[in-house]
Amino acid sequence: MEILIKNISKTFNQRGMEMCAIKDISFDIHDGEFFTLLGPSGCGKSTLLHIISGMEKPTSGLVEFNGVKKSSGPLNTMVWQGYALFPWRTVRENIVFGCEVRGISKKDRYKKVEDFIELVDLKGFENHYPHELSGGMKQRVALARSLCNDPEILLMDEPLAALDAQTRTLMQIELLRIWSQFKKTVVYVTHSIDEAVLLGDRIAIMTARPGTIKEIVSVDLPRPRTLETMTSTKFHQLADMAWNAIKYELNKKF
């Protein structure tokens, strides 16, 4: 699914005052691309993600999907930082939820669920509840639930930020493994430069509020990417390039 962002701006009215969150943003996202959004806190990354999803309407501008403007957008799903799992549902029941809502037959939806449980390496935990899982396992459930719904676009809002550093790195590699099998179009919000470089095909670096696109960096690292990728000279060169582009925007906040 190709996405075209055309002159998007969003202004919020807060206590009688207008606050411009993002301003005149334009770029394209290729079909099957892993596209990362990187920028300082409060720059409007999540706002832009919500506009792409159809959860927010822009003040001006438009979003096109495969060349067609759609007010509600194509079928997409959001993976949140806080997992957003139903605590009263087991792993299996959480993953199947989207298929239930879409009216897929019980036989077909549970066949799909078993495939995705195996995909995210949760075999043996099907009947566990969220409180019985580690943070990394919870995020695997959230990812499986999103993919089981077969979205055209996968939107991810800092999904790994709540994890400890070691688990986060392992989950980044796991995410790449799973994405490589489906090649969904992914739009991924992060504050981490290393994460943006490791995951992305391109990185859109945003300015401080009001958020605009400062620069788009192409990540010409070969795939598949592994832990060893992060030790390469090219990886560090790209991370330095991204840091140099973003550090001025961070300084503007202090």
Band the pLDDT of 130: cuts 50, 70, 90: very high
Dihedral sign, Cα of residue 176, residue 68, residue 37, residue 133 = negative
- Span 57-75, mean pLDDT? 78
**3-class SS string, the chain:** CCEEEEEEEEEEEECCEEEEEEEEEEEEECCCCEEEEECCCCCCHHHHHHHHHCCCCCCEEEEEECCEECCCCCCEEEECCCCCCCCCCCHHHHHCHHHHHCCCCHHHHHHHHHHHHHHCCCCCCCCCCHHHCCHHHHHHHHHHHHHHCCCCEEEEECCCCCCCHHHHHHHHHHHHHHHHHHCCEEEEEECCHHHHHHHCCEEEEECCCCECEEEEEECCCCCCCCHHHHHCHHHHHHHHHHHHHHHHHHHCCC
Residue 74 — pLDDT band, cuts 50, 70, 90? Answer: low
Residue 147 has a pLDDT of 86
pTM of structure: 0.90
Structure token digits, residue 8: 């998007």
User: Using one digit for the tens of pLDDT, what is the confidence trace for 25-61?
Assistant: 999 999 999 999 999 888 999 999 999 988 899 999 9
pLDDT in tens, 146-186: 888 888 899 999 999 888 899 899 999 999 999 998 889 99
The proportion of the chain whose per-residue pLDDT surpasses 90, expressed as a percent, equals: 60
Percent of the chain with pLDDT over 70: 96
What pLDDT does 71 receive? 53
In this model, does residue 72 exceed pLDDT 60?
no
Q: Which of 19-23, 76-80, 148-152 has the lowest mean pLDDT?
A: 76-80
CA distance 217 to 232: 18
d(CA 4, CA 185): 12
